[in-house]
Amino acid sequence: MNELLKKTASEQRKALLNKEISAVELVNAEFARIESIDETLGAFNSLCKEQAIETAKEVDKKIAAKEDLPPLAGIPLALKDNINLKDTKTTASSKILENFVSPYDATVSKKLKENLIPILGKVNLDEFAMGSSTENSAFKITRNPWDTNKVPGGSSGGSAAAVAGYEATLALGSDTGGSIRLPASFCGIVGMKPTYGRVSRYGLIAFASSLDQIGPFGRCVEDTALLLEAIAGHDSHDSTSLDIPVPKFSDCLNKDIKGKKVGVIKELLGDGVSEDVKKAVEAAIQTYKDLGAEIVEISLPLLEHSIGVYYILATAEASSNLARFDGVKYGHRTENPKNLLEMYTKTRAEGFGDEVKRRIMLGTYALSAGYYDAYYKKAQQIRRLIKEDFDRAFEKVDILVSPTCPNTAFEIGSKISDPLSMYLTDIGTISANLAGIPGLSMPCGFDSDGMPIGLQILAPALGEDKLFNMAYNFEKATDFKSVQPKI
């Protein structure tokens, strides 16, 4: 393998500008890597070789002509397979969309193209982004590059495994309850969920529209900051996208953090957190102290309800969003149905996997007459209270820290038949989606088996600059990103 594939985007950019390698060679080196390793890792659902090489050629032309290049031009990226990219398959890792070819670009895909970022292919996920391990994909299991018997986390497991396994330098994922941060944590890379509305959702296959956000993965904080700059901004195609300027996050990284206040979420460092994770996160807190930050303990008493609230709201929204997959407009249709009703029911019975069916049933129940007030409305009210808990916390501190997940990556197959224990892996991440605030996961240590541990950092809404600044200073003061999987 070309050692350059292990480097960060800015290191690769230097190599491109110094003509140590051309953009086409870099992209081809990634395809060679994918060819040699992806049978083991299972990150990619499909490749977009022609498109990627076309983009790389354009970059090479601009380099030869000494023209200005966007900061991530030529840096290979893996796209989660629930984000539309024109003329490529977009499956959401579901049988129901197995042969669906996207007729248009998602806004983020359009922006990637404008930034001359070669898109290598579409990467695996839990079907419709429902899951925490990528085992719910209808097509294949994705494995963790640190230990291929373990899950990469989910639902953006393909995105994280591709970056950690040197099959791509960057990736995009989507995060509804932790689906970027959890796999970033399990795979030892940086993953970031922006403020709700920061990035357009146009062209993202909807799971739970009031919680979904697209966000970046990278090998270091700077890479994710640059990638967010490339994809963020207002979009008239998404009425929830925020019409405000996008700051240059990469300019805020180096600022001194002396005197900043770091809140430690008490409830996320208590019972149920593995000893190794606890130790690593406590050491991270000490690092912040050494950097001159003030540490404040913060209690978020309603956090314990976040999983319950999430699994009512997310499933309710999913049951409505997934009603569109009816065999008429998209993808799979059952063969020889006796009548229209049977066409609908058989198409959906054949097309959706077990977890998706479970969510549709839960959500339909929560929204049904008589239960709406008891479940859906109550959950909305508690969601508001959780948000207010965060508002109060951010009056006292600049950022909040916690483990991204109470444990490290688990064995493939160990939780798949126990949905409740799978749902509990999201206890650290879900509340940020309910509150709409930005969150990031970055490496902060390893457990006794050598598996990566993630530190989660949360900031107030639109506080991405603070988030990246605090994360960058931690990264600079530690050396976790230099430890890479030997795969």
Contact segment (CB under 6 A) with ligand GLN among 63-71, 128-136, 299-307, 342-350 equals: 128-136
8 Å CB contact between 426 and 132:
yes
* Site size for ligand GLN (CB under 6 A): 13
What φ, ψ does residue 90 adopt, rounded to 5°? Answer: -125, 105
Comparing CB distances to ligand GLN, the nearer of 9 and 141 is: 141
SS3 473: helix
Does residue number 177 form part of the binding site for ligand GLN (CB under 6 A)? Answer: yes
DSSP string of 288-316, one letter each residue:
HHHTTPEEEEE--GGGGGHHHHHHHHHHH
How far apart are CB 125 and ligand GLN at their closest, in Å?
8
Contact segment (CB under 6 A) with ligand GLN among 34-42, 68-76, 124-132, 233-241 equals: 124-132
Sign of CA dihedral 215, 159, 49, 55: positive
How far apart are CB 136 and ligand GLN at their closest, in Å?
8
Going by C-alpha positions, the residue among 35, 41, 33 that lies closest to residue 141 is 41
Does residue number 408 form part of the binding site for ligand GLN (CB under 6 A)? Answer: no
Please state, in angstroms and rounded to a whole number, the distance separating the CA atoms of residues 480 and 10: 18
Q: Which residue is nearest to ligand GLN, using beta carbons?
A: 179
How far apart are CB 341 and ligand GLN at their closest, in Å?
29
Cα–Cα distances in Å, from 393 out to 68, 118, 193, 450, 471? 43, 40, 19, 34, 19
One residue of 91, 148, 169, 176 binding ligand GLN per CB under 6 A: 176
What φ, ψ does residue 98 adopt, rounded to 5°? Answer: -50, -40
Comparing CB distances to ligand GLN, the nearer of 313 and 399 is: 313
The secondary structure element, H or E, covering residue 39 is: helix 23-41
Does residue number 131 form part of the binding site for ligand GLN (CB under 6 A)? Answer: yes
Residues 441-480 that bind ligand GLN (CB under 6 A): none
Instruction: Choose, from 22, 179, 200, 441, the residue flagged as catalytic.
Output: 179
One residue of 118, 121, 158, 178 binding ligand GLN per CB under 6 A: 178
Does residue number 132 form part of the binding site for ligand GLN (CB under 6 A)? Answer: yes
Does residue number 155 form part of the binding site for ligand GLN (CB under 6 A)? Answer: yes
Does 155 qualify as catalytic in the annotation? yes
Does residue number 105 form part of the binding site for ligand GLN (CB under 6 A)? Answer: no
Please state, in angstroms and rounded to a whole number, the distance separating the CA atoms of residues 312 and 359: 9
According to DSSP, residue 253 is labeled T
Does residue number 194 form part of the binding site for ligand GLN (CB under 6 A)? Answer: no
Structure tokens belonging to residue 96: 């129901």
The residues of the shown chain that bind ligand GLN, judged by CB under 6 A, are 129-132, 155, 175-179, 207, 314, 426
Q: Which positions are catalytic?
A: 80, 155, 179
